[in-house]
Structure 1
């Protein structure tokens, strides 16, 4: 191998940094009461394991968090009613929702209170999506592709509001917008895809055109990491997705002259560094 080229945008985004800083500050403050996270604070198993060692407890449901303890809301956000329930039960809520996700939540709320139905481009099982849907009081319609949207019968007499999960593919979102415009529907389009996500995807596509193979590092449950793999493969370049250095197919990678390296928004810098060092030695 002649060269490893690393994307400038690889690793933690601003929202992840802010969420982890809030959790770190709470741990360092030594406040009384146990510290809980409602679901993984970010989608990276290695980071979550480190916080477990520091005594942070991951709860799967609000009911698991006892009164008087601290509940840190994950970077992906939570449904409105869940946050309200926690506060009503006397739990100390620390909101670590990514500012971009919070902005999307409030945009949806502002533009659907007049009866507009939310059309949301996102993943059904993703925690961010569950939160976003809760901010639309007039009804919702969720889909994860242009093809799925085309199978949904939309009422021309109704008014709609279109939004996207913040880590979705901007190119696909533009296709969705064009499709809805062709239907002549009354639709307000929200710009809810994070700029950091767009930049990361654009750099991955650009980088993939200059290398023989791409490595994407990040948690397998991370939506934005999976999307990076998707956009690279769509660009026609072979791609390997790994969570840890041990998963690198070193023998296979030896045959490539130039390898591109990028990472999802919840991937620690030290993990990307270690993988880069290994690649540079083969």
Structure 2
């Protein structure tokens, strides 16, 4: 059996930066409590490691006591939550991914003139909650062309089209082209999808065409990892999304000659290595 690992598997720049900032704070906090508002990244194994170091995860700004450190997660937070934190006089350490921060500012700049925001993404994702909080004139979150069509766009009305940073660029560009082709809408299209996401998905597609089976490693609650698994499945290649090697049915994979492995942007290298070791043992 040959096992091929994707070059882009594992932490992206934004995740790596967020965790480095948290690690640095842990070393310099000198006993001051450290909170994170929601999971700093979507990986349960990483969150467990930080909990063991004393980092407390809060779900609401009111849970963070005055004077404590609070780290803003890689996915970002809403404008309203950030304002609530500042009002509590806590020590804010912003670990928002620079790509997400750029998307927030772009939306704030362009969706502040009477334009409605149309956001391609997952309605219940924390990044999406942060992005739409910068749209001051209404928004609509959709995850398919059918959902957008059902929304009922008004001819002549001004719209801003953007996407969650980890969405599929091909799908987004098709949606943008469809809106432009209508000719009766005033649509401003924002480039908010991260290039690292595009590269990771493109590499996964190419690798999926060259192997007999694909393994995608990452948190089950990680949106970018789930989309990576979907991108692979769309190529017709058998695929399994796992969090750890324990979730992988190794005995069922012995018959495959070539297996590809990739991982989501919030997957630590240690988990990837354990999956590779498990496959190598076959």
Normalising by structure 1, what TM-score? 0.98
Matches within 5 A, 1:75-224: 75-184=74-183, 185-224=185-224
Q: Which stretch of the first structure deviates more once superposed, 57-66 or 98-107? A: 57-66
2:22 paired residue number:
23
| TM-aligned CA deviation for residue 32 of structure 1 | 4.4
2:264 paired residue number:
264
Superimposed CA distance per residue, residues 170-204 of structure 1 (whole angstroms, 9 cap, x where no aligned partner): 11101111221122211110110000000000000
Cα separation, 1, equivalents of 2:207 and 2:61? 42
Unaligned runs of 5+ in 1: none
Superimposed CA distance per residue, residues 94-133 of structure 1 (whole angstroms, 9 cap, x where no aligned partner): 1000000000000001111111110000101100000000
| TM-aligned CA deviation for residue 157 of structure 1 | 2.5
3-state SS, counterpart of residue 50 of structure 1: helix
| TM-aligned CA deviation for residue 265 of structure 1 | 0.2
| TM-aligned CA deviation for residue 31 of structure 1 | 3.5
RMSD: 0.8
2:238 paired residue number:
238
Alignment: residue pair count: 281
Asked if 1:58 corresponds to 2:84, the answer is no
Cα separation, 2, equivalents of 1:177 and 1:236? 26
Cα separation, 2, equivalents of 1:91 and 1:202? 41
1:280 paired residue number:
280
| TM-aligned CA deviation for residue 45 of structure 1 | 0.3
Q: Indicate conservation of the 8 Å contact 1:146/1:175, yes or no.
A: no
Superimposed CA distance per residue, residues 125-148 of structure 1 (whole angstroms, 9 cap, x where no aligned partner): 100000000001011011011111
Q: Indicate conservation of the 8 Å contact 1:15/1:100, yes or no.
A: yes
1:3 paired residue number:
2
Unaligned runs of 5+ in 2: none
